[in-house]
Amino acid sequence: MSVALAFRETGDGPPLVILHGLFGSGQNWQSIARRLGDSHRVIAVDLRNHGGSPSADAMTFSEMVDDLRVLLEDRGIERTALLGHSVGGKTAMVFALLYGQMVDSLIVVDIAPVPYDHTFLPLVRAMQRLDLSGGLPRAALEKRLARDISDKPLRTFLMQNLVNDQGQASWRINLDAIGAHMAGLTGFPDVEGFVYDGRALFVSGAQSDYLGPQHHERIRELFPWAEFATIADAGHRVHAEQPERFLGVVRQFLSPAT
């Protein structure tokens, strides 16, 4: 069953929908969205169980694709460009494969249509273990989280999900659902028999191993018109680490469609 996704809309022109990655939200993409808004009607979505979107026990790619389909229909959008990062990129790929008639072009950021061996369950468990009941200030809570998550940029990113309502801190993401569906989220659904024949761009970070030449054959099986771009001095969060280079690549790709 679909849920009504929260979103932020900016700009004017042909539509462009942005789908964030795991533990993120549309808010993480607002700087990119504002700048792309000079040429597009940009809709930055919160996936289910993230940001301002509803929580749901189920979190498969089929359900997330259906959420997006309903949003587009509700907004009167018959065709759109899609830009997705990580889990959002997988969602965008599955959407394009199933509903190619609704996709003008596809941009996938640092992810491939393959299952991955890693898991983010340790991050989920660390966030679940953090005691939020004592009314501690944000800095103190982050210090405690650092016992389990030593990577400061990653920890700062995750802490964006900590909200405070009248002195009571809570996580705005549904950690239980994300944890329960982790195997599916790091995998990729069976899409045999489906091909997206539209324009597609796969953007990777040069310092990331999520997307590389070893994935190109599989990508071209599903997206035969795929193009590839690698951003130097960037890891998995390409758009945050090298925003100017990322915007340049995205604008160049989108320009034939504007």
Q: What CATH number is given to the structural domain containing 28?
A: 3.40.50.1820
Sign of CA dihedral 182, 188, 190, 194: positive
User: CB under 8 Å to 137, separation ≥6 — which residues?
Assistant: none
At residue 256, the pLDDT reads 66
Count of domains forming the chain? 2
Last-in-domain residue among 108, 141, 173: 173
Taking residues 196-219, what's their average pLDDT?
97
User: CB under 8 Å to 132, separation ≥6 — which residues?
Assistant: 141, 168, 169, 170, 171
Alpha carbon 190 to its chain centroid, in Å, reads: 20
Taking residues 64-88, what's their average pLDDT?
97
CA-CA distances (angstroms) from residue 179 to 219, 240, 246? 27, 25, 30
Rounded CA-CA distance 209/105 in Å is 24
At residue 135, the pLDDT reads 80
Are residue 149 and residue 111 in the same domain, yes or no?
Answer: no
pLDDT at 240 over 60: yes
- Whether residue 1 is contained in a domain is answered as no
More confident of the two residues 253 and 258: 253
Are residue 137 and residue 168 in the same domain, yes or no?
Answer: yes
106: nearest Cα among 116, 94, 118, 117: 94
At residue 1, the pLDDT reads 85
pLDDT at 150 over 70: yes
At residue 82, the pLDDT reads 98
Strand-strand pairing, 80-85 and 15-19: parallel
Contact call for residues 91 and 149 (beta carbons, < 8 A): no
Express as a percent the part of the chain with pLDDT over 70: 99
- Whether residue 182 is contained in a domain is answered as no
- Whether residue 178 is contained in a domain is answered as no
- 10 Å CB burial of residue 128 (0-12, 13-18, 19+) is exposed
Are residue 69 and residue 196 in the same domain, yes or no?
Answer: yes
How many other β-carbons are positioned within 10 Å of the β-carbon of residue 201? 21
Express as a percent the part of the chain with pLDDT over 90: 93
Taking residues 134-142, what's their average pLDDT?
89
At residue 258, the pLDDT reads 44
Are residue 111 and residue 161 in the same domain, yes or no?
Answer: no
What one-letter code names the amino acid at 148? D
User: CB under 8 Å to 59, separation ≥6 — which residues?
Assistant: 48, 49, 174, 177, 178, 180, 181, 184, 185
Are residue 95 and residue 127 in the same domain, yes or no?
Answer: no
Residues labelled catalytic: 86, 176, 236
Are residue 166 and residue 204 in the same domain, yes or no?
Answer: no
Are residue 110 and residue 218 in the same domain, yes or no?
Answer: yes
At residue 257, the pLDDT reads 47
- Whether residue 181 is contained in a domain is answered as no
Boundaries of domain holding 129: 121-173
- Whether residue 81 is contained in a domain is answered as yes
Taking residues 159-173, what's their average pLDDT?
90
- Whether residue 179 is contained in a domain is answered as no
- Whether residue 239 is contained in a domain is answered as yes
Are residue 72 and residue 142 in the same domain, yes or no?
Answer: no
pLDDT at 74 over 90: yes
pTM, rounded to two decimals: 0.95
Q: Mean pLDDT, the chain, as a whole number? A: 95
Are residue 77 and residue 164 in the same domain, yes or no?
Answer: no
At residue 246, the pLDDT reads 98
22: nearest Cα among 161, 189, 188, 163: 161
Last-in-domain residue among 173, 197, 215: 173
Taking residues 67-88, what's their average pLDDT?
97
Are residue 195 and residue 127 in the same domain, yes or no?
Answer: no
215: nearest Cα among 231, 235, 230, 198: 230
At residue 136, the pLDDT reads 85
47: nearest Cα among 23, 16, 73, 79: 23
At residue 220, the pLDDT reads 97
At residue 133, the pLDDT reads 87
Are residue 250 and residue 166 in the same domain, yes or no?
Answer: no
Are residue 112 and residue 126 in the same domain, yes or no?
Answer: no
- Whether residue 180 is contained in a domain is answered as no
